[in-house]
A and B are shown apart, each in its own frame.
Chain A
Amino acid sequence: MNPALRRVWGLIYRHVALYRRSWPRLVEIAYWPTLNMLIWGFTSLYIAQAHSAPRAVIAGGLIGGVLLWEITLRGQMGLTLSFLEEIWSRNLGHLFVSPLRPGEMLAALLTVSAVRTTLGLLPATIIAYLLYRYNIFAPGPVMLLFFLNLLVMGWWVALGIISLLFRYGAGAEALAWTLAFGITPLACVYYPLAALPVWLQPFAQILPAAHIFEGMRAALLHHVTDWRELALAFGLNAAWTLGAIALFAAEFRRARVRGALIAIGE
């Protein structure tokens, strides 16, 4: 195996070994997406019955929103928590003096995050189909583009949080649990962009999520693919990702100057 790929596999294997020995961690992966799906799924059924609204419209707006936004949240948590595992186990010192490059470390953690997200959303997706007759894949392969954009958004948010961990140490840990949730009002997950006050709309429009969910609603409710919204989401994601990588590189370099890598867990 190519040495770089083997190093990436080495760090992935570290997390595989961790998860197969820790059932609470495995449960945690799927717990919130499943719980959210149950709560919002029944809520959407109730609203549909109470207001005689077409189930598909309610489901498209609420259940689809829950499932898709969880991709971003789980993607972000998957990357941030995988990095925090190294802080909690006081293992970063060993990793950073090994030949593992920062880019390889990120490649490994992104892979772990993608697997965690897929496994975490699987039960919620099945529940949505069995209990609410909602199929997230119904619009076809174009949904994969929405999934990918949401995952990438979760990743650049996570890169930002890891950069803050480099700067502020484990004291910034709380952001891992809260930052992406804080973006939710601007992400237009459950309502259209037009529902926001006019002055708030520009802030939402610089986030890929607002465009992804506008596109998702068009796909799920009107069966059309809004390529313009998808293109905007891709473009914004590319810009934010480049910014997050630059921030990560700068904070990593700064941590090496300040000696923060030695005491990051304190």
Chain B
Amino acid sequence: MARRIPAVMHAIAVDHLSKRYAHTLAVDDISFTLERGNILGLLGGNGAGKTTTISMLLGLLVPTSGKITLLGHDMAHDRFAALARMNFSSPYIALPARLSVRENLEVYGHLYNVPGLNARIRELAAQFDLTGLLARPAGELSAGQKTRVALAKSLINRPDLLLLDEPTASLDPDTGDYVRTVLEAYRDETGAAILLASHNMAEVERLCDDVLMMKTGRIVDQGRPAELIARYGRQTMEDVFLHIARSEAL
């Protein structure tokens, strides 16, 4: 069981965050918080600033201005303390293809200093239906199997904060549904916070307590999925997404 985050602490606190490249303002003065035990959806079309925002949260990218505090740690000065308590998964970043699934999980188990690593690997393998694949090289897996391995890697250290980029991409509907159930259960059991970037609006409606809608680097709206659907007079989050993406006014 992962340690619980103190109730008073935001899992994520982003304050007036901006990122400017030479002539492009990729993220424009955004602020938001994510509370423990909550799942926050980060939505927006291509070029909206989601990847830049996630990269700054992960410490891969230094903000031009603003402040990021994760699990009480200032990312500008204390990012490794935060990184040890969080994890990340994206289908766009691979795991070494020649290493077996078990070896990949062992490597990251060591990097995250996971106690009882063998037992943890067995637990995750059972959870993500990877037991029969542990000896297989990661490069020989199907896209869906790779996504499941990446998710197992992202939970190896029982993170207090989980950043997920398209967590169910490449999964068939049945497996996708199972993964969503695992993520909900993980959140409920541990009180972990999850930031989810997804283009699957049904997934967002099901999983997210709150949603941030980004466009051209700014947060143009936010709220609970049901609130947003009601506010825009639409039927689904997909309709809300399309409305915001196509609206000139926002």
Contact = CB atoms under 8 A, between A and B. Distances in A.
A189 to B, nearest CB: 35
Interface residues of A, number: 32
A13 B106 CA distance: 9
Contacts of B87: 97
A91 interface: yes
Contact of B111 (A7, A18, A22, A93): A7
Contact of B98 (A9, A18, A259, A261): A18
A153 B58 CA distance: 34
Given A99-B84, A259-B21, A9 B99 contact: no
A222 interface: no
B61 A89 contact: no
Interface string B87-114: 1101001111111100100111111110
Contacts of B100: 17, 21
Interface in A198-232: none
A133 interface: no
A104 B107 CA distance: 14
Nearest to A90: B94
A38 B56 CA distance: 52
B52 A6 contact: no
A129 interface: no
Given A10-B106, A10-B111, 16 more contacts: A6-B113, A7-B110, A7-B113, A10-B110, A14-B103, A91-B95, A91-B96, A93-B60, A93-B93, A94-B153, A97-B83, A99-B111, A99-B113, A100-B111, A256-B61, A256-B62
Dominant SS among interface residues on chain A: helix
A3 B113 contact: yes
Interface string B54-96: 0100111110000000000000000010011001101001111
A181 interface: no
A25 to B, nearest CB: 9
Interface of A: 3, 6-7, 9-11, 13-14, 17-18, 21-22, 85, 89-91, 93-101, 253, 256-259, 261-262
Interface residues of B, number: 34
A256 B107 CA distance: 24
Interface of B: 21, 51-52, 55, 58-62, 80, 83-84, 87-88, 90, 93-100, 103, 106-113, 137, 153
Contact of A10 (B98, B107, B153): B107
A4 B113 CA distance: 9
Indicate the member of A3, A11, A13, A99 with the most B CB atoms within 10 Å. Answer: A99
B93 A98 contact: no
Nearest to B150: A94
A266 to B, nearest CB: 12
Contacts of A94: 88, 93, 95, 108, 153
Given A98-B108, A99-B111, A21 B61 contact: no
Nearest to A9: B110
Which 8 A-B pairs have CB atoms at the shortest separation, nearest pair first? A10-B110, A93-B93, A99-B84, A90-B94, A17-B103, A10-B111, A89-B96, A97-B58
